[in-house]
Amino acid sequence: MIIKNAEELTSHGNVNGRKAVLEILEAGLQAADPYENVRRLVRIENGRLIVGDGGFSEPPGEPPLVFNLSEVGNIYVVGGGKAAQRQAKAIEDVLGELITEGHVNAKKGEKVQLQRIGVTLAGHPIPDEDSVRGARKILEIERRAKRGDIVFHSESGGGSALLTLPAPGLTLEDLQEVNRILYFECGATMWDTNAVRNQLVILRQRHARYVGEATLIQVRTDERPPGLRIRLDRPPTSADSYQHAIDILKRYGCWDEVPESVRTFLKAADPRYEPLRREEWEGKPRYCFRIMGPEYMLEAARNKAEELGLDATIVISSLSDVEARHAAETLAYMAQEVEVYGRPFRPPCVLLYGGEVIVTVGEATGTGGRNQEFVLSAAARMDGSENTVMASVDSDGADGPTHAAGGIVDGYTMERAREAGIDLFEELVNHNSSPVLKRLGDAIHTGIQGTNVQDLRVIYVGGRMKRQPARPKWPPYV
């Protein structure tokens, strides 16, 4: 079982509802593991290395890549991200001793699984010295590649922190400060945060620059559901990427707060360190395979709910870039509408959501994460409900800088908090959700999962309220 403390989580409150929600979460989290899809993607048949299957290629419909192993030089495996090691593990299990060398950066807390490929456990969400040390090893390997070699690049979300290699004139401390100010203090979206911090490094999103004439095969787990518009602005081209980063820092009001070295670097706009230009990779052997995304997790969760006899709907596959508190209160209102009036869904039912909400911490000193803050923010609106349970977890197994993956609440949570002497509203103002959920026995623990397809939120409404409110006469005044 991925959820380690299910017995504790189902020892109180709406026990039947909690059991159903945890089964649904379990199914979704299991489906988010990229390992099996990579095993389908990469295989050896009759002395040939074949890469491609199951609609994983980008653009779709491309035929598989076929390499005669007698003609292949060195095979390298590099990468970074929360799913990087699980993907590399699948490649290692297929290729074994055919791998010449490799290195990936994975998140601290994850167990080292690789034998032939080196692993550096690095800092996330704040990069650390290990992020830099491992990134240097990866860069050294990429620069050794030559024509006839194959470089597998294992990538996923989380790589912006895990593959931190500061550009010349910048330090790790500079990048840590930008991350702290922009993402945590100012509440910037992940897309805006990455647009800035990826501009300050020399490895992330630039691997094709360093492998020369070698064949580069990118294997990636994608945080974004396919086909959805997930950002309001257009992605910058290499020509305006420096100015785009400057504009983001100014928009969030922190241009003058970031280190002076960062401002100097961005204003210099040195073309040697900008993201890849089209001419650097166009016409070269560069291939990309998307092997995992949030749709796998959401579909598996829906299937499990239906196995349990519940009507299940994926309402929003990417509810992202809105404050956790606001999103939670809105969805709690929806759950109340379902429970009281049976609309827009008829209970018993399950509503599923993906994506990543945000928490603007400001100067608060509490400990928590977006999923824990989300469920705790919904608890007050659910107070007294006999039918509703809500849970939210991070697919990577660690919600923010905590050891919990997320949390679960129901209509009894507020009462239990009051009995324990917890002022839930005061704790939320201080963004201190993690200690509260731990004290209530409602923090969900999974351990680091080796994947990253954002979050899974489950709302369970087990039935209608026994006493229905009186229907207003229409018109209300005669």
Does the structure show a pLDDT above 90 at 62?
Answer: no
pLDDT, tens digit (0-9, with 9 covering 90-100), for 399-441:
999 999 999 999 999 999 999 999 999 999 999 999 999 999 9
In a domain, 472, yes or no: no
Do 455 and 331 reside in the same domain of the chain? yes
Show the domain range for 363.
6-31+294-461
258, 292, 326: which is the final residue of a domain? 292
Task: Say if residues 233 and 248 touch (Cβ distance below 8 Å).
Answer: no
For residue 127, how far is the Cα from the chain centroid?
A: 16
Do 220 and 337 reside in the same domain of the chain? no
The C-alpha atoms of residue 88 and residue 84 are separated, in whole angstroms, by 6
Do 77 and 189 reside in the same domain of the chain? yes
Query: What pTM did the predictor assign?
Result: 0.92
Do 22 and 46 reside in the same domain of the chain? no
Mean pLDDT of 375-381: 96
Identity of residue 360: T
In a domain, 471, yes or no: no
Do 189 and 238 reside in the same domain of the chain? yes
Do 25 and 45 reside in the same domain of the chain? no
The DSSP call for residue 358 is: B
Contacts of 204-209 with C-beta under 8 Å, sequence gap 24+, read 204/80, 204/159, 204/160, 204/163, 204/164, 204/165, 205/275, 205/276, 206/275, 206/276, 207/78, 207/142, 207/151, 207/153, 208/276, 208/280, 208/281, 208/284, 208/286, 209/276, 209/280
The C-alpha atoms of residue 410 and residue 379 are separated, in whole angstroms, by 7
E strand segments, 141-275 = 150-155, 215-221
The DSSP call for residue 273 is: G
Q: How many CA atoms, within 13 angstroms, populate the side-chain half-sphere of residue 457? A: 30
Task: Say if residues 146 and 210 touch (Cβ distance below 8 Å).
Answer: no
pLDDT, tens digit (0-9, with 9 covering 90-100), for 116-131:
999 999 999 899 999 9
Identify which of 448, 392, 453 has the alpha carbon closest to the alpha carbon of residue 37: 453
Task: Say if residues 384 and 411 touch (Cβ distance below 8 Å).
Answer: yes
Task: Give the CATH number for residue 189.
Answer: 3.40.50.10180
In a domain, 387, yes or no: yes
The C-alpha atoms of residue 298 and residue 372 are separated, in whole angstroms, by 19
E strand segments, 75-190 = 75-80, 101-107, 118-122, 150-155
Structure tokens at 263: 């401002």
Mean pLDDT of 63-79: 96
Does the structure show a pLDDT above 70 at 447?
Answer: yes
The DSSP call for residue 234 is: P
CA angle 389, 390, 393 (to 5 degrees): 140
**Selected residue with higher pLDDT from 418 and 363:** 418
The C-alpha atoms of residue 237 and residue 170 are separated, in whole angstroms, by 22
Q: Which residue is associated with the tokens 């800035």?
A: 196
Residue 31: what pLDDT?
98
Q: How confident is the model at residue 470 (pLDDT cuts 50, 70, 90)?
A: low
pLDDT, tens digit (0-9, with 9 covering 90-100), for 209-226:
999 999 999 999 999 998
The C-alpha atoms of residue 300 and residue 383 are separated, in whole angstroms, by 29
Task: Give the CATH number for residue 14.
Answer: 3.40.1480.10
Distances (CA, A) of 307 to 260, 295, 350, 438, 455: 57, 18, 12, 30, 22
In a domain, 442, yes or no: yes
- Buried-exposed string 438-451: b where 16+ CB fall within 10 A, e elsewhere: bebebbbbbebbbb
The C-alpha atoms of residue 281 and residue 76 are separated, in whole angstroms, by 19
Q: Which residues contact 322 (CB under 8 A, 6 or more apart)?
A: 357, 358
Mean pLDDT of 269-297: 89
Task: Say if residues 196 and 182 touch (Cβ distance below 8 Å).
Answer: yes
264, 292, 320: which is the final residue of a domain? 292
Per the omega criterion (within 30 degrees of 0), is the bond before 344 cis? yes
The C-alpha atoms of residue 206 and residue 419 are separated, in whole angstroms, by 54
Residue 477: what pLDDT?
43
Task: Say if residues 200 and 193 touch (Cβ distance below 8 Å).
Answer: no
Q: How confident is the model at residue 146 (pLDDT cuts 50, 70, 90)?
A: very high
Task: Say if residues 453 and 297 touch (Cβ distance below 8 Å).
Answer: yes
Mean pLDDT of 374-382: 96
Do 164 and 254 reside in the same domain of the chain? yes
The C-alpha atoms of residue 113 and residue 124 are separated, in whole angstroms, by 19
Q: How confident is the model at residue 478 (pLDDT cuts 50, 70, 90)?
A: very low
Q: How confident is the model at residue 378 (pLDDT cuts 50, 70, 90)?
A: very high
Do 329 and 195 reside in the same domain of the chain? no
How many structural domains does the chain have?
Answer: 2
Q: How confident is the model at residue 71 (pLDDT cuts 50, 70, 90)?
A: very high
Do 44 and 69 reside in the same domain of the chain? yes
For residue 48, how far is the Cα from the chain centroid?
A: 34
Structure tokens at 152: 């597998």
In a domain, 468, yes or no: no
In a domain, 469, yes or no: no
- Collapsed DSSP state (helix, strand, coil) of residue 216: strand
User: Average pLDDT over the chain, rounded to whole?
Assistant: 93
- The phi and psi torsions of 119 (rounded to 5 degrees) equal -135, 130
Q: Which alpha helices (DSSP H) does 79-128 contain, by range? A: 84-95
Distances (CA, A) of 6 to 18, 246, 287, 445: 9, 46, 42, 9
Does the structure show a pLDDT above 70 at 232?
Answer: no
292, 316, 339: which is the final residue of a domain? 292
Q: Which residues contact 213 (CB under 8 A, 6 or more apart)?
A: 146, 147, 284, 285
Residue 228: what pLDDT?
82
Mean pLDDT of 3-10: 98
Do 160 and 207 reside in the same domain of the chain? yes
Share of the chain above pLDDT 70, in %: 95
Residue 274: what pLDDT?
87
Do 255 and 322 reside in the same domain of the chain? no
In a domain, 449, yes or no: yes
Q: Which alpha helices (DSSP H) does 396-463 contain, by range? A: 413-419, 424-429, 433-440
Does the structure show a pLDDT above 60 at 472?
Answer: no
Do β-strands 388-394 and 118-122 pair in parallel, antiparallel, or remain unpaired?
unpaired
Do 319 and 300 reside in the same domain of the chain? yes
In a domain, 476, yes or no: no
